Structure 1
């Protein structure tokens, strides 16, 4: 088999495994992503505890969403990430492998620095492709109407393009924040997972080995979430509805972070951390484990 044929075969398996991992992770964990976005875009506290548009935490958000918007509201905005996940995960894993070769720095085996820099590169590449889907997703997630009354993904996309175009005020709004969020997350995520996975001995028992991968993937997802959350808050503020309609308050990533810090304090930069961790901890484990198992299944299938 030539090098080109080998590359095409590996890339095809990475696309299949990455797409499967992304689809499964999104379907299971999307409600927590929605709750995270709702908590991040609310800038001021309400004096009325019964205010349906203000949430004091994860449980309060879920209760009010269920009461006022219905059960299906937990999957608002799921179509954009589903449409994006197959190419997104494909790009993430394929480019990670290519960046890994580039960042070997003469070493015969990958080092933790190799994994981290390759993850950073993969995250940046992924962010550039996925940002338009993120803009549509956040717009849909921030809509507090009944799920049946929420406009379709396609109509929201057309409205954004019609009113703001494709640039930094339209479908590519918040691109820098998305690059920072995804780049930092994947740098920690891949760097930790592959470095630690190589240090912790594998188990012969399939159940224990499954537990080993889940534990490492879970920890990698939690660490990545804790490190990149300020960029995620900035992204949600930039891409979500502005506090005063018609006036753009959050423009740049750094500017949004500084504004949130000055007006709401340091803790506001970590809004939505708990649902983010609850989503990307197990979500990170699900994604890596599904990827590993599907990749090995395809590898054995097409030997």
Structure 2
């Protein structure tokens, strides 16, 4: 999984209309930098995984209940599920940014950092603590749109699937819904992920306005200079990770919640 993440980042940081495909990027990294480079930047995503997932579903639950109360609806609708997902993604983005920044800095081909802590020290020394939040706006939009697509699709797909008559059937429905949601969320948010990688991978120079600064203008710049396909650089390794990952994630969350419901009872969940 992590090797795909490294390849995705490299593909997104590569400017110009010509680019390596998934296999070509793998081969290029191994040939030029060695096999071990595929695992560079491993620590930040590992440290991030648990708090990110916990924040995602806790925020989705919070915003879902909040919007139901505000609108007076008795049950979730398609529109509310999308709004809830977008809000959960916005909340999640604040947790994600520093970890993503460190990962990008380590995975850049030109990176000379010895490890995660050196990235943190150097960024704080040069830019202050807020330097760890470079790319916050792009990360916000990346998670806003992914979670909106993910949770919105889960609601829609669950409604289209045959009603589950057993626990196994419900789990299968969750796996399918989560996988479709992961695919759709990735298809929607990849352009924003490309911009985020470009912003966080750039080096600030005194007196020079960054080429990639704000998300939507950067989308236009990449589209104009590199073509529409450039906005989907890294899509294949990204979707190979996040589509099945979205299914497994929903499955794990639902199994865990069911265990808690059995142990604590409905009033607590």
**TM-score (ref. length: structure 1):** 0.78
- Matches for 1:124-273 after TM superposition, within 5 Å: 124-143=90-109, 151-167=114-130, 170-204=131-165, 208-241=169-202, 248-273=210-235
- Matches for 1:34-73 after TM superposition, within 5 Å: 34-44=6-16, 56-73=20-37
Q: Does 1:111 align with 2:77?
A: yes
Structure 1's 189 and 45: CA in aligned 2 closer, same or farther, altered over 3 A?
closer
Q: CA RMSD in A?
A: 2.3
Distance 1:292 1:73 in 2: 36
Answer whether contact 2:154 2:178 (CA < 8 A) is retained. Answer: yes
Answer whether contact 2:10 2:109 (CA < 8 A) is retained. Answer: no
Distance 2:133 2:88 in 1: 19
Structure 1's 75 and 293: CA in aligned 2 closer, same or farther, altered over 3 A?
farther
Distance 1:33 1:237 in 2: 15
Measure how far apart 1:207 and its partner are.
5.2
Count residues in correspondence.
261
- What secondary structure does 2:132 align onto? coil
Distance 2:114 2:172 in 1: 41
Q: Does 1:101 align with 2:101?
A: no
Distance 1:69 1:194 in 2: 44
Measure how far apart 1:204 and its partner are.
4.1
Answer whether contact 2:17 2:227 (CA < 8 A) is retained. Answer: no
Measure how far apart 1:96 and its partner are.
0.8
**TM-score (ref. length: structure 2):** 0.88
More helix by share: 2
Distance 1:211 1:62 in 2: 33
Measure how far apart 1:185 and its partner are.
0.7
